[in-house]
Chain A
Amino acid sequence: MEVTIDKQYPVAAGLDAAWAILSDVNELATCMPGAQITEVIDPTHYKGSVRVKVGPAVAAFAGTIELLAIDPATRLLKMLGKGADKGGSSASMELTATLIAGEGGHCILQGKADVIVNGKFAQFGGRMMSSVSDMILGQFAVTFSQKAAALQAAAAVQAGEIAASAPIPAAPVVAKELNGLAILWALIRNFFSGLFGGK
């Protein structure tokens, strides 16, 4: 099952702060709910895991991340992630992410992901794959934006650009597991709001 997602997400921070997050694989991985880097093999190869919780069941995907390209000049990152759970479901994602300048000092995260999913997820979720991937990436982008904003504010405090007492955007709290039921609920909610022209 192959899904390609090509989308732009607004980031509530400037290019430098956003690039700092994007170019740090550890930081980047933790933008994904339930994901973490478990081992750094070398500067371009990492081991990681994703925990997905659907009701009482928790599936743990273990996998590898390979950095294919990282270019500060064009602020481009290309990586390949592969993972499988113990039951043999597997997924791979080739992600190309670029940062482009946006309005008001903010920037835009442009992401293109080619996702291949095999096993139970591909079988049962065929028709939902695209919306689920979309939603996971959406969550990822929100966390990414929050992290970048927090980093930018902290940097500004350090540089004395704003007073230490000013409210700083808090670093996001990221869930330790990707909650499958929450995603399902959001899908259903979106479906109905779409039905009644809500969106």
Chain B
Amino acid sequence: MNAPASEREKALMGMGESRLRKEDARFIQGKGNYVDDIKLPDMVFMDIVRSPLAHARIKRINKEEALKIPGVIAVLTAADLKPLKLHWMPTLAGDVQAVLADEKVHFQMQEVAVVIATDRYAAADGVEAVEVEYEELDAVVDPFEALKEGAPVLREDLAGKTEGAHGKRYHHNHIFSWDAGDKDATDAVFASAPVTVKQDMLYPRVHPCPLETCGAVASFDPIRGELTTWLTSQAPHIVRTVVSMLSGIPESKVRIISPDIGGGFGNKVPIYPGYVCAIVASIVLGRPVKWIEDRIENLSSTGFARDYHMTGELAATADGKILGLRANVIADHGAFDACADPTKFPAGMFHICTGSYDIANAYCKVDGVYTNKAPGGVAYRCSFRVTEAVYLIERMVDVLAQKLGMDKAEIRSKNFIKPEQFPYRSALGFDYDSGNYQPALDKVLAAVDYKGLRAEQALKRADPDCPTLMGIGLVSFTEVVGAGPSKICDILGVGMFDSCEIRVHPTGSAIARMGTISQGQGHQTTYAQIIATELGLPSEVIQVEEGDTHTAPYGLGTYGSRSTPVAGAAIAMAARKIHAKAKKIAAHLLEVSEADLEWEVDRFKVHGDDAKFKTMKDIAWAAYNQPPAGLEPGLEAVHYYDPPNFTFPFGIYLCVVDIDKGTGETKIRRFYALDDCGTRINPMIIEGQIHGGLTEGFAVAMGQLLSFDRQGNIQGNSLMDYFLPTAVETPIWETDFTVTPSPHHPLGAKGVAESPHVGSIPTFTSAMVDAFAHLDVTHFNMPHSAYRVWQQLKQAGLAS
């Protein structure tokens, strides 16, 4: 009890400690509780009839054969949902999406009908037996084709509508135009700049690949009129609000539970037709209904990411000072605009595309387009299109360096926003909170012996017999995360605050309930550490609960690296309310005034007297049993935190590749990742997040691709074709850090889980292109699979 402060601090296992994950005990023993683990009495199963065609008119649906199959209870189509007005539903992006295809199918694998049966096998047989007659229509899979004059009308439901959710539509397949920055001023800079560069690039369509696919168990109690649904959702409260609005059931009678979630990566933010159908089926049948999609359904129909056709331009002085940036994007959104961005930002945070650089003039424009592909546009381990933005600027800086014959590190140093410029207002309207880029860059260059690497590369380039091409990639990215200030960030009108409720029990343990939901981030571990440090209670006795809308305070969920920046701040603020009350109680117990007290690790003590103190544990008991007169009993607090700004974590990544000239096989020799996420809560979990993010970035850059043929058939929607790296393929990661706290966050923390994904992808491309740079190659598109690299080698005359 009277151990030195440093020992007591260590024992709390609070912030800064590599506390082991509390979640792992149940996960590694197979005792997790995922949606598919939920089994209810009388539960039935749902399976989905999907369109084999990308674009077709539905002429007839025949349920008869399916209904004859033993075990099949019901088959629902759009015609059955129509009387309930549930055959279409709103998307998070202000568009509508067919729940079950209404007269037309708009993409391959679109939901056409659902079969409900007493077991999964009967449901699957039922799906096979539903007969759907289609009239094929011409499919459009290329957004540029979609915008041509005579292109087929994809969304007949929008015929004649020239106004969309985000302003004017100039073509029947156009969704929105969105821009930021000063176009005229930027054009003027380009007109007079000594040097300009321009590069087209495609960030191809990829898909998050959480190990657990999406699913739901819906259970409607017809007697109480209550609906309980277990759901794979990264944002259960938003689901509750939407379900209540769609169904008319009061929000107080809708309970959404996100149990353990096996990875989300943005894939589990949207509300999918499968969820809605399971809920409707449960209401209609009065029985619990389970729906779990398989891997092919997950990769084919739920939220994809990226699919940005980008053109970047930089204007600069002859010695490499960037004067202006222009970015133009054609964004392929698929059949329905189901992006999961804050409502006012149809292109998410793409306007972070000025990156870590002080660029005085910038303009960016994004046009969303409908095609016959699955809807989505989710933030795949990133904060709303930040990945695309960082890719664009980092590629363009490389292209400019190449044109000027400058070194990649040198041109970055020259253009960095300087430490004294923070807080920094970017030309596209962000207020960067803090950053210190040059020391981070210097640290990385020293760690890898950058000069030595360049010398080695020069030697290898000079040797015609060298069997490999060596490439060095360098990226200095800045992310914008922690959405976000509710004055600009909302989803369907709900501000993007987050929340925390803490109750300290009489014996000094505590429970915290949160508006977020972990999908592997380790919230139960890290949130407890924040409370441990703030309140001086051991993290071991602090329970963290999330995901049940009946018990958790309202929050917007976990995605876009927002948990620590927003919910983490809510925890600190709630804890500080408790701390303030505890101080009153301590003063009362010690019979001194509050001004005579100081806080030390786990206790209030009288100034300069180590013997006169009350620990938080003592105070907790007193709070319930002997509170001072006039103070209500209890020790708890709720805080809803509306962040004043985003946070801006950054990093410097360097990658060395060796490409086999004969086969195009690439070896990642070295990958060095330095991250600055501000204050670090749990270094071990940060390290794990970075390893995971780098591995996902590696997957995207080197292999992942959802491709389509001209008829709109999806090619590669199983793990036979879709690259999911295992330990065998994954390179060895080296990590490092600097600490530049956020000045506006109560803990100084910025969020980290997405940085490694956002930052690593352009680093791989930078390295791959660098290997060809001496052959005047400035860019080639991902993924850098051996076959595609081999084609590049052939084009360069290096492979036969």
The answer to whether B721 touches A127 (Cβ under 8 A) is yes
Please give the distance in Å from A53's CB to the nearest CB on chain B.
14
Specify which chain B residues have a CB less than 8 angstroms from the CB of A126 in the assembled complex: 709, 713, 715-716, 721
Specify which chain A residues have a CB less than 8 angstroms from the CB of B54 in the assembled complex: 118
The answer to whether A87 touches B715 (Cβ under 8 A) is no
The answer to whether A90 touches B721 (Cβ under 8 A) is no
Report if A138 contacts B (CB, 8 A): no
Q: For the complex, what is the distance from the CA of A83 to the CA of B56, rounded to whole Å? A: 15
Within 8 Å by CB of B52, from A57, A88, A127, lies A88
Q: A88-B52, A123-B717, A126-B716 are in contact. Are A116 and B711 (CB under 8 A)?
A: yes
The answer to whether B713 touches A119 (Cβ under 8 A) is yes
Report if B714 contacts A (CB, 8 A): yes
If over half of A's interface residues share one DSSP class (helix, strand or loop), that class is named, otherwise mixed; here it is mixed
Q: A118-B136, A127-B721 are in contact. Are A89 and B52 (CB under 8 A)?
A: yes
Which stretch, B126-134, B232-240, B504-512, B628-636, touches the partner chain A? B126-134
Report if B117 contacts A (CB, 8 A): no
The answer to whether B131 touches A123 (Cβ under 8 A) is no
The answer to whether A124 touches B718 (Cβ under 8 A) is yes
- Digitize A117-136: 1 where CB-to-B-CB distance is under 8 Å, 0 elsewhere: 11110111011000000000
Within 8 Å by CB of B709, from A2, A84, A87, A88, lies A2
Within 8 Å by CB of A119, from B52, B717, B721, lies B52
The answer to whether B715 touches A88 (Cβ under 8 A) is no
Report if A1 contacts B (CB, 8 A): yes
Report if A86 contacts B (CB, 8 A): yes
Q: For the complex, what is the distance from the CA of A84 to the CA of B60, rounded to whole Å? A: 14
- Count CB-based A-B contacts (< 8 Å): 60
Report if B53 contacts A (CB, 8 A): yes
**Count of chain B residues with a beta carbon within 8 Å of a chain A beta carbon:** 25
With CB as the reference atom, state the residue of chain B lying closest to A120: B52
The answer to whether B714 touches A88 (Cβ under 8 A) is no
- Digitize A98-120: 1 where CB-to-B-CB distance is under 8 Å, 0 elsewhere: 00000000000000000011111
The answer to whether A86 touches B709 (Cβ under 8 A) is no
Q: A118-B136, A123-B108 are in contact. Are A88 and B53 (CB under 8 A)?
A: yes
With CB as the reference atom, state the residue of chain B lying closest to A124: B718
Interface residues in A26-71 by Cβ distance below 8 A to B read: 57
The answer to whether B136 touches A87 (Cβ under 8 A) is no
Specify which chain B residues have a CB less than 8 angstroms from the CB of A87 in the assembled complex: 52, 128, 131-132
Report if B647 contacts A (CB, 8 A): no
The answer to whether B52 touches A118 (Cβ under 8 A) is yes
The answer to whether B710 touches A2 (Cβ under 8 A) is yes
Specify which chain B residues have a CB less than 8 angstroms from the CB of A119 in the assembled complex: 52-53, 108, 713
With CB as the reference atom, state the residue of chain A lying closest to B127: A87
- Digitize B625-653: 1 where CB-to-A-CB distance is under 8 Å, 0 elsewhere: 00000000000000000000000000000
Specify which chain A residues have a CB less than 8 angstroms from the CB of B516 in the assembled complex: none
Q: A86-B131, A90-B136, A118-B136 are in contact. Are A123 and B714 (CB under 8 A)?
A: yes
The answer to whether A88 touches B711 (Cβ under 8 A) is no
- Digitize B213-246: 1 where CB-to-A-CB distance is under 8 Å, 0 elsewhere: 0000000000000000000000000000000000
Specify which chain B residues have a CB less than 8 angstroms from the CB of A86 in the assembled complex: 131-132
**Which residues of B approach A to under 8 Å, CB–CB?**
51-54, 56, 108-109, 128, 131-134, 136, 296, 300, 709-711, 713-718, 721
A selection of 24 A-B contacts at a CB cut-off of 8 Å is A1-B709, A1-B713, A2-B709, A2-B711, A84-B134, A86-B131, A87-B52, A87-B128, A87-B132, A88-B51, A89-B52, A90-B136, A118-B53, A120-B52, A122-B711, A122-B715, A123-B108, A123-B713, A123-B714, A123-B715, A124-B296, A124-B718, A126-B713, A126-B715
Q: Which 10 A-B pairs have the closest CB atoms?
A: A119-B52, A122-B713, A88-B52, A126-B715, A86-B131, A1-B709, A89-B52, A1-B713, A88-B134, A118-B711
